[in-house]
A and B are shown apart, each in its own frame.
Chain A
Amino acid sequence: MSKPVGPVLRMSDDVDAIVAAIVDDNPGREVTVVDRGAYTRVSGDGELRVTRESIERHLGRGFEMRQLEGLMSAFAGRIDMTSEEVRWRLKSGEPGAPA
């Protein structure tokens, strides 16, 4: 993985559901999960996204995207956050950007 991006999630009951949602929302993209106990690093190459809808489906309850903040101690790459979706990416990974 040359440009790993993605969230670093702190210990909580919801980590597995968030990871499952990320896997669902990034079909065809390799997602790497490294569990270091107090934190879990989730990485994709160049870009990863997760939607509120997928998180709710895996949690089995309602979820506001702002609540992700309380679970995410750090992240790699740049972040874009709306009420429905969060994306982590590197600008240099975008089409037309220098490698």
Chain B
Amino acid sequence: MARMAREKWYDIARDLDWELSYVDYEEVFPEWMSGQGKVPREAWAGWDEPYKVTYPEYVATQREKETGAYSVKAVLQKSRIFDQLDEGWKSVAKEHFGAVALVEDLAAYAELRMARFGLSPAWRNMATFGALDETRHAQISLYFPHALVGKDPQYDWAHKAYHTNQWAVIAARATFDGMMMNPNVVDVAVQLPFTFETGFTNVQFVALAADALESGDINFANMISSIQTDEARHSQQGGPTLEILVEHDPRRAQWIIDKTFWVSARLFAVLTGPGMDYYTPLPMRRQSYAEFMQEWIAGQFVDQLHDYGLKKPWYWDEFMAGLDTWHHSLHLGVWYWRPTVWWKPQGGVSPEERDWLHEKYPHWEEQFGPAWNVIIGNINDGRIELTLPETLPWLCNLCHLPIGTAGSPRNEKYPVRSYPLTYNGYTYHFCSRPCRQIWWEDRDTLYDPTVIERLLGGQIQPLTVEGILTWMGLTPEVRGEDAYSYRWARPYAARRRPGDRPGDRPGGAETGTRDRGGQAAHTQEPAGQGQPVPVNALFEDDFVTQLVVVRDTDTVDQAARKVAAQVVGRRVPPRDAGLVVRFDGMAVPGDITVAESGISALDVVNVGWAGGHQ
């Protein structure tokens, strides 16, 4: 039987709506949920989705997609392909599953909120399909790794991660709650479908599929690119919503995009960047992370922004510069703090990989090479304990990523530093000016204490590395370790690169390398030796700021050595020089006490070499 073409009846069916008679419009679509703002009610009647689909079409297409994805899985499960996958690549998949699977579930709720509170029947119809899509994504993203749990317990974190307080999960939860659950649905449509799903998810689900296929993980490539075909459709809720918002309140539209873009970019620098540029085996890398971001974000997404009459975000130059640094810094952090993640970070800095990094990122060697040289030296000298953390990096109050990772060492324009803000007598710390500004604008809707704040607030007991890992839910069998037992560092033991000193032994500095009495966050000191003063400490040329607990009765020299003990000989080479502390921009005499210096809890303290930068 011939069927009437969809476009001959679709609009009438789609626009079916109620005229309310028993309740007021505002009760059905309350402002705090629907977010109409300055847009007149009648304007929403013009909401027109460009990517149209009927329910029978939807069911038929989804059935075909599911059949395709699950039949590939069924065939490959009988093969040995998984066992032959590179360990570094497996970590890309593990990180993805843990960070993404239950966010898909969260996205189903975001779609359902739009399906209920969206301001036009066409929008609500499309959001209903979106909710079904996201349910499929959550299911498939849990089902695929579930088959692998018996081979590797880290895959269990596909389901477990979001039920823990692991630091990256806290960062993701803060970002996605802010994108999907906290805002009204107009903001959700501009944040989630428009900014996130037409921008960033393409990098994780389409671009990453290219690396997956090259790495032989056909199953993963097939699954994520199948998921993204749904996203390509339901993300089109963003455009019509944005078009109406831009017409009536362009300032709000620009702000929603700007803030969402920034927090997404920060999160993707840890979610996607290390996987593409370090974990994926070198011969399998299709493009660098920066190149993929150029293709999908700086090119495609910005064209789209302009097409809606919007501008690039105000921090654009800083974002573009960050494509060369953020994810390198975050990779170094994830690798150094590897027991705190549920995957096995591949160091990825062998001589050949390093050449590739230098080719793709001309400043990599200058900015990150020195820290890796110290690490490599320690590995080859058997001092693995110096490549493992004894304290935590200080975390940004907005993006929850380590402070310093929005810059890089030896980078004059975007240096490693904290951007503090004291508000109502409490000092918040941020990784960047944009994070600080977004927090300030949205401060009334944000409540996610960082791991550092939870630690200082006494939620984490005991205050040891073991206590922190346990609090994060990381049982011993899933804690991250180097993917290849440091194989990548071995060639340096026999081969010296010009200008490198990876085999040099630390020593000779008048610092914590000689006096290893460094007081990490967890170090217990005898009672009666003054009050603990947790500070946000940066050591010159390091890549993050860290929590270091000094005592108010310590001399400033002693405090400096406690900071140095967490850095020198670990990521910064020792030097035959004394230390100097700078606080509030002034050098502080070494022989006065911390209390006398005015340094107090949560303050930013900078420690460097006496005699200045060399």
Contact = CB atoms under 8 A, between A and B. Distances in A.
Contacts of B286: 36-37
B339 to A, nearest CB: 32
A76 B212 CA distance: 22
Interface in A37-62: 37-39
B209 A66 contact: no
B40 interface: no
Interface in A42-99: 64, 66-67, 69-84, 90-92
Contact of B212 (A38, A69, A91): A38
A10 B7 contact: no
B307 A78 contact: yes
Interface string B226-269: 10110111001001000000000000000000000000000000
Interface in B411-428: none
A29 interface: no
Nearest to B197: A74
Nearest to B63: A70
Given A10-B209, A74-B202, A75-B232, A91 B225 contact: no
A39 B287 CA distance: 13
Given A4-B303, A66-B53, A79-B51, A38 B226 contact: no
A38 B204 CA distance: 13
A13 to B, nearest CB: 11
A4 B7 CA distance: 27
B229 A71 contact: yes
Chain B interface SS verdict (over half): helix
B210 A37 contact: yes
B250 to A, nearest CB: 14
A83 B221 contact: no
Contacts of A70: 61, 64-65, 68, 226, 229
Nearest to B300: A76
A11 interface: yes
B57 interface: yes
Contacts of B61: 66-67, 69-70
Contacts of A3: 303
Contacts of A39: 206-207, 209-210, 225
B289 interface: no
B209 A69 contact: no
A38 B213 contact: yes
Nearest to B4: A83
A72 B308 CA distance: 23
B457 to A, nearest CB: 43
B528 to A, nearest CB: 63
A82 B50 CA distance: 10
Contacts of B68: 70
A35 B57 CA distance: 29
B229 A69 contact: yes
A3 B225 CA distance: 25
Contacts of B51: 79, 81
A22 interface: no
Nearest to B295: A41
Interface in B291-343: 299-300, 303-304, 306-308
B6 interface: yes
B303 A76 contact: yes
Given A4-B303, A37-B214, A72-B232, A79 B50 contact: yes
Contact of B236 (A38, A79, A91, A92): A79
Interface of A: 3-4, 8, 10-11, 36-39, 64, 66-67, 69-84, 90-92
Given A75-B232, A83-B6, 13 more contacts: A10-B209, A10-B228, A37-B210, A66-B61, A71-B229, A72-B229, A72-B232, A76-B300, A77-B307, A78-B307, A82-B6, A90-B307, A92-B306
In the A-B complex, the 3 residue pairs with the smallest Cβ-Cβ separation, listed nearest first, are: A38-B209, A10-B225, A38-B213
8 contacts: A10-B229, A69-B233, A73-B228, A76-B304, A81-B50, A81-B52, A84-B5, A91-B308
